[in-house]
Amino acid sequence: MKLRLFCVLIFFPLLYNAANAGLIGGDLRFYGTVKALPCDVQAGDENILVDFKDISLKDLLLNQRSKKVPFAIHLINCNTAVYNSVTVTFSGMENRKLPNHLIVTPEEAGADMSAIALGLQTENGTPIILNEATAAQALSGSTKDIKFMAYIEGITDELRQGNVSYGSFSAVANYTLNYQ
């Protein structure tokens, strides 16, 4: 019994000092976000490219619009137990002369594309209002293709005055999926 007590009395102060001498600690913080997303966006649809090919100035003057070019946002791995419908909200730099149309930017320095703008509509022809959700579309099954049309619209007076350059252009729209 004396030996045990002796060992405890000798080694206890050494253990106490070792515990206090060189230990450095810190805080751990864990964080994250739990999201209830019923579908995934198909790979590649984060950045959709819509190619208008060649647009004739004559067609813009006659029809005020180019031919419509279809595009779609493809949703996959949908689970309707989470939500059962989706809307899409488009945003971007709005053309002041054509409300709810996007500004078209020339690819060549010094070119002027102010006489045209990019318009969007649903598959059935309903115009898209920028910064407002489209009508809800039901989610059924594991995939959903949300189809739209894009077109170039001319500002007739400016086209007749020659306020458009020939050449390549681009426009950017952002989309947000809103699940219900």
Give the CATH number, domain containing residue 50.
2.60.40.1090
Do the beta carbons of residue 67 and residue 158 sit within 8 Å? no
Q: Is residue 27 part of a domain?
A: no
Q: Tell me the pLDDT tens digit for each residue of 147-173.
A: 999 999 998 888 888 778 889 999 999
Q: Is residue 152 part of a domain?
A: yes
Tell whether the model's pLDDT for residue 5 goes beyond 80: no
Tokens of 157: 């007076």
16-25, 74-83, 89-98: range with lowest mean pLDDT: 16-25
Q: Is residue 84 part of a domain?
A: yes
The DSSP secondary structure of the chain, one letter per residue, reads -HHHHHHHHHHHHHHHHHHHHS---------------S-EEPTTTTS---------HHHHHHHSB---EEEEEEEES--TTT-SEEEEEEE--B-SSSTT-EEPEESSTT---TTEEEEEEETTSPBPPTTSBPPPEE--SS-EEEEEEEEEEE-HHHHHTT----S-EE---EEEEEE-
Q: Tell me the pLDDT tens digit for each residue of 20-63.
A: 556 788 888 888 877 778 999 999 999 999 999 999 988 898 89
Q: Is residue 158 part of a domain?
A: yes
109 falls in which pLDDT band (50, 70, 90)? confident
Domain count, the chain: 1
Q: Is residue 136 part of a domain?
A: yes
Tell whether the model's pLDDT for residue 10 goes beyond 60: no
Q: Tell me the pLDDT tens digit for each residue of 118-146.
A: 999 999 999 999 999 999 999 988 999 99
Sheet-wide strand order for 40-41: 40-41, 69-76, 144-154, 116-122, 102-103
Q: Is residue 83 part of a domain?
A: yes
Which pLDDT value is given to residue 20?
Answer: 55
- Stronger pLDDT, 61 or 12, i.e. the higher one: 61
80-84, 89-93, 111-115, 156-160: range with lowest mean pLDDT: 156-160
Which pLDDT value is given to residue 8?
Answer: 45
Residue 54's domain spans which residues?
Answer: 40-179
